[in-house]
Amino acid sequence: MNELKVGQEVPDFTLPASTGQNISLRDYRGSKVVLYFYPKNMTPACTQEACEFRDAGDPIARGNAVLLGISPDTLSSHAKFIERNSLPFPLLADEEHKVSQLFGVWQLKKLYGKEFMGIVRSTFLIDEQGLLVKEWRKVRVKGHVEAVLGEIMNK
């Protein structure tokens, strides 16, 4: 499957969410969507990223944007992660990696000499009409949320 490119319309998808309902991308038509993919709940970098996005909630909302986090973790793991870090945004469970594959972030990774499939930390900005307008791939957490905020305010 070819990964999405900037300028393309993002196909609709639906995933189970920490809200207890299924969330579809089409639910947010008319708003910008910041879609961030992260490898695993409760890990240091993923916790830092989630908390930085949490703390940027007001500017994200002022930019007419919503924030959705996606990982392959279960809904019960998401619930614990949300509670532990007071996250005010939904986390979506992509346990079968379908949406991660659509965005090209489910990839072969290496850690301590072992190879495994996993999420490559990435963020995507989708405009009000459903077009992919910006992507950040292989994200380093430091300074990332500020870059996303800058882009939201410029669009």
Read out DSSP for 27-72?
GGTTSEEEEEE-S-TTSHHHHHHHHHHHHTHHHHHHTTEEEEEEES
DSSP reduced 3-state for 107: strand
Nearest-angstrom CA–CA distance, 75 and 27: 20
Check if 46 is active-site: yes
Catalytic residue among 46, 67, 68, 149: 46
Q: Is 83 exposed, middle or buried (0-12, 13-18, 19+ CB in 10 A)?
A: exposed
Whether the CB-CB separation of 136 and 147 falls below 8 Å is answered with yes
Nearest residue to 89 via CA among 50, 62, 132: 50
Would you give the DSSP letter of residue 25? G
**Residues classed as catalytic:** 46
